[in-house]
Amino acid sequence: MVRVGFVGLGNIGKPMALRLAAAASSGDVDLSVHDVAPEPVAALTAAGAKAVGSVGELAAVADVVCVMVRDDDQVRTVAEEIGPVPVLVIHSTVAPGTPAELAARGLTVLDAPVSGGPMGAADGTLAIMVGGSVDAFVAARPALDLMGTKVVHAGPLGAGTRMKLARNLIHFVAFTAVTEAQRLAEAAGLDLRELGEIVRHTDAITGGPGAIAHRETTAPLAPDDFWTGVFQHVAALGEKDLSFAIALADELGVDVPLAREALPRLGKGLGLS
């Protein structure tokens, strides 16, 4: 049995903790929780967790303390109250230097941000990207496996946060591209909701932007590399369609700066000379 403490029972923290509570009811986990809001604490105790009155009390009864709070300052506040807990697992997305800052205080820290949102937290299918020592990762792994189906030891302390930031760069740049595409579609007289349905449908089939992320390096491709032919095809299609989209945007008077940036960068970014 692993003794887990959980701090921060918000939109993602609460369903994560509920996954642990389900295991607690079967005797695999001893779960204690703390939050400043009483409602989520009540929901967790009803699900089988034990409520404690402070972060310090939580640390006293846990081997692993998982933290899912709003920002770096709240993470620091929690860390100050924890003391020498064996493993502090930071699920919040923090600045790249924050995990090392906390470790310098003598704490054993894992940075373990998550991807998958409230939906993934609720059904236990989160991706969890972990940075830190192997020993700390092994100690926390039983709890992490209850909350996610893709748990990756990304490397030393800070690696989990760096991986999350790279992943979210894709996420939010893609969101911005969607807003650009919506302006173009709207000017062309199209139904934006149907466009959204098409995007979600086809991304579920093709893998979306992650479909190109299979190489181990971003170095230029050798002529005999398997991916050279694949990405030459991708670049040819992309450059053609981007050119058409930019031409349509010019015709309709729509500003598409991301498309204009992407056109000359696509092939080179894929590793083509």
Fold of 2-162: Rossmann fold (3.40.50)
Nearest to 23 by CA among 179, 142, 172: 142
Mean pLDDT by 10 residues, the chain (273 residues): 95 97 87 96 96 94 96 96 88 97 96 97 97 97 97 98 97 97 98 98 96 96 97 97 98 98 97 93
Domain 214-269: give its CATH code.
1.10.1040.10
Q: In which element (H, E) is residue 204 found?
A: helix 192-206
Would you name the residues annotated as active-site residues?
164
In angstroms, rounded to a whole number, what is the distance separating the alpha carbons of residues 242 and 248?
A: 10
Nearest to 74 by CA among 92, 87, 60, 54: 92
Strands 114-115 and 126-131: antiparallel
Location of each CATH 1.10.1040.10 domain in the chain: 214-269
Q: pLDDT tens-digit profile of 194-214?
A: 999 999 999 999 999 999 999
* Cβ–Cβ under 8 Å, residues 27 and 58: no
Q: pLDDT tens-digit profile of 77-135?
A: 999 998 877 899 999 999 999 999 999 999 999 999 999 999 999 999 999 999 999 99
Location of each CATH 3.40.50.720 domain in the chain: 2-162
From the centroid of its chain, how far is CA 83?
Answer: 27
